[in-house]
Amino acid sequence: MTEPLIYEICQAGRRAVSLPECDVPTTELPEGCERTDLPLPEVAEVDLVRHYVRLSQMNFGIDSGFYPLGSCTMKYNPKVNEVAARLPGYALLHPLQPEDSTQGAMALIYDLQEMLAEIAGFAAVTLQPAAGAHGELTGVLIMRNYLHDRGDTQRNVILVPDSAHGTNPATTSMAGFKVVEVGSDRRGNVDLEKLRDLLAQHGPNLIGMMLTNPNTLGLFDEHIEEVLRLVHEAGGLVYGDGANFNAILGIVKPGELGFDIMHFNLHKTFSTPHGGGGPGSGAVGVSAILADYLPGPVVAVNDEPAAECEPQEFCYRWHTPARSIGRVKAFYGNFGILVRAYTYIRMHGAEGLRAISENAVLNANYLQARLAGAYPIPHGDRICMHEFVAQGTLDGAPGIRTIDIAKRLMDFDMHPPTVYFPLIVTEALMIEPTETESKETMDAFVDVMLRIAEEARTNPELLLGAPHHAPVNRLDEVKAAKDLVLCYAPGC
Amino acid sequence: MSYKFDPQARYGTSHEWARAEGDLVVVGISDYAQHLLSDVVYVELPEVGDALIAGESMGTVESVKAAEDAYAPISGEVAEVNTELEDNPEWVNQDPFGKAWLVKIRPADRGELGKLMDAATYEKFVTEEEEKGGH
Amino acid sequence: MNYIPNTDADRQAMLRTIGVQSTADLFRDVPEQRRFPKLNLPPALSEMEVLQELGARGDENDDLGRLSCFLGAGAYNHFVPTVVDFLLHRSEFFTAYTPYQPEISQGTLQAHFEYQSMICALTGMEVSNVSHYDGGTALAEAVIMALQVSRGKRCKVILSPTVNPQYREVIHTYIQGMCLQTAGEGLLETAPGVGLNAAQGGPNGNLLDSLAGLLDRESACVIVQNPDFFGRLYSPAEMQLLADKAHAAGALFVVSVDPISLGLFVPPGQYGADIVTGEGQPMGNPLSFGGPYLGFFTMKSGEVRKSAGRIVGQTVDSDGRRGFVLTLSTREQHIRREKASSNICSNEALNALAAAIYMAAMGKYGLRTVAELSFHKAHYAADLIGRVDGYQVMSAAPFFKEFVVRCPRPVEDINRILLANYGIVGGYDLGRSFPGLSGHMLVCVTELNSRADIELLAEALGEIAEMDAESEVAGD
């Protein structure tokens, strides 16, 4: 099934909108400025709608079926969040309107700042970063400025585990620092001995460490407090990548463990929709000593430094922290996403949040237990957190790789797990069910996975030729990279 | 897995080969390197006249799954670059020691070639790398 | 309320399979003293209650559904055709993740390929990525790309002072840890004849000449905004001249644009731009109090490998059918890691989809009409306001959608009264961003402002000028 491009269905003269006539006198256009051509499509509304509806039918979302994409937390996106975000009181607000006309929105931002700080054990939160990676850059720049203000300008090394998501080292480079990799031990924890060696070697130059806990193997570090203590002892700070926060809501507060900074992925843990790749929101929480460095503005209340305030009980004002690293984006953050996350937290409360993590972890352990024996699971001897990593290498099926298993899953109307990440496990298959899947759905997934393992041995062609029922077969990625076609003519 | 090795060439630990040809030293990436990359889709080369320092990046070789730096095995000045690779990146996979040479360097010190591994030593090095599991 | 389907019975069965007694046992690795902390949060609400709560909070805001808006300054009140939301909310688009498995993501991939194509058509450029977070971060990424293109050798960025001030702040934040330094932002205050002349559209090219004067062998790029933050529109000829000078010095020419303006005016791709960025919010995305927005990013095809951000490419499947995939992934963080030029992972995909549907729905004539209406209405408003005693319009033609007005009272006061007494959201107080421009208002007019709205604004401004300075706002 293929659908023509929008340009291929357009016909000159067709229109899909109606706009009013100009009700004011016209002004002559400045000379030499007018464009002579505008190669945009011309389609009627009915054809436009059919085009996009058909495109959507070639897509798979959480609402379509099971989506165990490890590290992405593909939990169900509550529809009430959508209604909330679309309320005119939020959707139709200009960010630069007089503050007194946006107190409700600012109150929401303030409350969300406070709630996230409470949930993770931090002193202050900014909601400005638009994505996790954006939050990472924010965090690393905060670490940089804090240490430089202390006179430690020679510090330029950040330790990053070998299991880290690629954004961690990429962020480190953007901030002008050097990455030093720390290996994992046999049980999947940060290797303490290697850590001690590296700290001895790089201590005086250390900005700190970026750490994901639970890590990308889905494991809670058995020595987490020791790891943090060692880094602090060497004069460094610890940045927490909160991508896996869905495992520890109400279970432990990273701030209490000793993390100095952490970013949240609101589009993972707090159920905001993934939208085909974004928008997200990478809120950042910090300990008290770093609060002055947050990007601004944040929302502050009456009793904090804010000069001219009306006599009201609460008075929300924009406040730029005293030593702010600077803004990381225009305006205040992805507010529409913040409304959704806020709604989600209000629906759940403390007990509801803890239930999320308990069920997320329970579900992942259930799948791990049921697939053990059928698929290699390098750390299957440990209790996992909200996800676990298996391998797509099967005895008796030498020609089959993780990619083939992934493609065959599509034939059963399930989205494959994350493949080939983390890099430290070969043929990795990272499975994260989340808490919003029922036991029946998970049992059905297990049945399919067991069947695929069997097919791998007895009828590998089924896997190698998969997917069989998708709108397209496997695509030529080499051709896509070599013969670049990134744009449809005309004009490209 | 068996790989090709050019007995005339010397090799760096990042899998570049270097071969003296008259005044110049011709450089490329080895058969093992192209195997790790799989289908090469693009090659980025330095410019003629660029100064190269041994061990520093002089360009990139890109496939669908990786974009690896090519490191200068010796220091010198870039005398020629293989512009035909722009339209034929797949030569890197097909003929890494021949048609797919990357640059020709006017060496600062021909003695530097001696610091690189000979073909036999490199072959052993590749076997060890493979056992470790990758690059 | 929660979204967990499993019952206690399900959980018991699963615990038995795993071989532990209770869910608490699953958290043995968490240090005991830190385990199960109390979260001090308001009690959980039902769906009904949460909607009431959110609704009440929303009502505390004065939203533009009930007000007329003359405020722009980087976020714009434009009409969103009804089809956009309907199509956007198809849950297969909405709840899908990044299209890493292309066979079951052709919807997202093709829609983004179409987005890329339309943005290229709009800007006159050859390649687009799928999005950055907003216009500001897109511009920061352009700076990083210019550094990459120069292979890290050129560390100077010539930055026009009439680029959106928030975007300039973002650039400064991003480049803190890099070799990059900016030059040119001081030109607005210091050089005689430059200052507000540039905003006024005074003697052409003063500012552009001054920017060109800063070019040297260290310059990675020159960045301008067109129309600039004050609404001033530069001609293609002026821009081409600056582009030529930049290129002669070996620097890239980067232009940040308002996409609606490109419905009417020559796009930067036709006057020498190497990179074109901008804020896509005006196309199909609500104001939403500042986000999520859409940073678009387009470039020449030769430099695409130095760029950041996901890109969709066309290819074929094993049966020769056309299909789409994410391509050039080796630039990105998940492969290049510390060698990636940017760390961007999640983007603004859904906002890009909204913009694509907007561009397709508006089409060639719709977008031009929106631009024409905005152009004519802004000029009409400037005419009317220029005739109100106490006010002086500082912008000479040409300008698009926004213009600068010198006011007889502090802008903050005027806006307070406009809102309370007339239901009007007034223009931006330029004094907030430019110390030399206090008392100046940046007025924005779009197709959503009717003639009656505009006439009311002019009338209101007149009345406010005549009010006593201590005049109380009605109802205080």
Q: Among candidates C98, C12, C106, C65, which has minimal Cα distance to C315?
A: C106
User: Is the Cβ–Cβ distance between C296 and C275 less than 8 Å?
Assistant: no
User: Is the Cβ–Cβ distance between A485 and C313 less than 8 Å?
Assistant: yes
Q: What is the pLDDT of residue A325?
A: 97
Q: Which residues of chain A have pLDDT under 70?
A: 302-314, 489-492
Joined tokens for residue A429: 């298959």
Q: Among candidates A129, A152, A158, A168, which has minimal Cα distance to A326?
A: A129
Q: What is the pLDDT of residue B135?
A: 38
Torsion angle of C-alpha atoms A38, A44, A47, A48, degrees rounded to 10? 50
User: Is the Cβ–Cβ distance between A350 and C41 less than 8 Å?
Assistant: yes
Domain locations along chain B: 13-130
Same domain membership, residue A440 and residue A328: no
CA distances from C437 to A301, A449, C30 (A): 29, 66, 57
A482 touches chain B (CB under 8 A): yes
Whole-angstrom Cα distance, residue A323 to residue A290? 9
Positions of CATH 3.90.1150.10 in chain C: 68-79+364-466
Q: Which residue of B has its CA nearest to A481?
A: B41
Q: Among candidates A28, A107, A464, A74, which has minimal Cα distance to C383?
A: A28
- The DSSP-derived string for A116-139 is HHHHHT-SEEE---SSHHHHHHHH
Beta strand A157-161 with A206-212: parallel, antiparallel or unpaired? parallel
Q: Which residues contact C376 (CB under 8 A, 6 or more apart)?
A: A22, A24, A25, A26, A27
Same domain membership, residue A241 and residue A120: yes
Task: Tell whether the model's pLDDT for residue C470 goes beyond 70.
Answer: no
**pLDDT grade for C468, boundaries at 50, 70 and 90:** low
Q: How many domains does chain A have?
A: 2
Please count the helices (runs of H) and the strands (runs of E) in chain C. 15, 15
Task: Report the gap between the CA of C170 and the closest CA in chain B (Å).
Answer: 29
Q: Is there a contact between B41 and A426 if contact means CB atoms under 8 Å apart?
A: no
The per-residue pLDDT for range B65-93, each reduced to its tens digit, is 888 899 999 999 999 999 999 889 999 99
Q: Degrees (nearest 5) of the Cα angle A79, A85, A88?
A: 125
Same domain membership, residue A387 and residue A267: no
In one-letter notation, the amino acid at residue A52 is Y
Domain of A394, in residue numbers: 356-477
- Residues of A with Cβ-Cβ distance to C340 under 8 angstroms: 166, 170, 173
Work out the end-to-end distance of chain A between its first and last CA atoms, rounded to an integer number of angstroms: 26
Q: Domain C68-79+364-466, CATH 3.90.1150.10 — does that match?
A: yes
In one-letter notation, the amino acid at residue A151 is G
* CATH architecture assigned to B13-130: Beta Barrel (2.40)
Joined tokens for residue A318: 């924009």
User: Is the Cβ–Cβ distance between A182 and A164 less than 8 Å?
Assistant: no
CA torsion sign for B72, B76, B78, B79 is negative
Joined tokens for residue C442: 């940046």
ipTM score of complex: 0.96
A405 occurs within a structural domain: yes
User: Is the Cβ–Cβ distance between A132 and A362 less than 8 Å?
Assistant: no
Chain B residues 76-105 with CB within 8 Å of chain A: 89-90
- Residues of A with Cβ-Cβ distance to B64 under 8 angstroms: 477-478, 480-481
Whole-angstrom Cα distance, residue A482 to residue B61? 12
Q: Which residue of A has its CA nearest to B85?
A: A482
Section C8-18 average pLDDT = 97
Q: What is the pLDDT of residue B84?
A: 94
Q: Degrees (nearest 5) of the Cα angle C338, C339, C340?
A: 95
Task: Report the gap between the CA of A183 and the closest CA in chain B (Å).
Answer: 15
Q: How many CB pairs under 8 A join B and C?
A: 17
Whole-angstrom Cα distance, residue C180 to residue C154? 8
Matching residue, tokens 């709108």: A471
Domain boundary residue among A310, A345, A380?
A345
Q: Which residue of A has its CA nearest to B88?
A: A482
Same domain membership, residue A427 and residue A462: yes
Task: Tell whether the model's pLDDT for residue C339 goes beyond 80.
Answer: yes
Q: What is the pLDDT of residue B67?
A: 86
Question: What CATH class has C83-358?
Answer: alpha beta
In one-letter notation, the amino acid at residue C414 is I
Q: What is the pLDDT of residue C58?
A: 95
CATH number of the domain that residue A424 is part of? 3.90.1150.10
Domain boundary residue among A293, A313, A345?
A345
Q: Least CB-CB distance to A476: which of C114, C172, C316?
A: C316
Joined tokens for residue A456: 């791998």
Local structure of residue C418 (DSSP, 8 states): I
Whole-angstrom Cα distance, residue A328 to residue C291? 13
Task: Tell whether the model's pLDDT for residue C204 goes beyond 80.
Answer: no
What does the mean pLDDT of chain B come to?
91
Same domain membership, residue A231 and residue A368: no
Positions of CATH 3.40.640.10 in chain C: 83-358
Question: Is it true that the peptide bond before A490 is cis, omega within 30 degrees of 0?
Answer: yes
Task: Tell whether the model's pLDDT for residue C396 goes beyond 60.
Answer: yes
The per-residue pLDDT for range C232-270, each reduced to its tens digit, is 999 999 999 999 999 999 999 999 999 999 999 999 999
A173 occurs within a structural domain: yes
Same domain membership, residue A378 and residue A290: no
A52 occurs within a structural domain: no
User: Is the Cβ–Cβ distance between A256 and C38 less than 8 Å?
Assistant: no
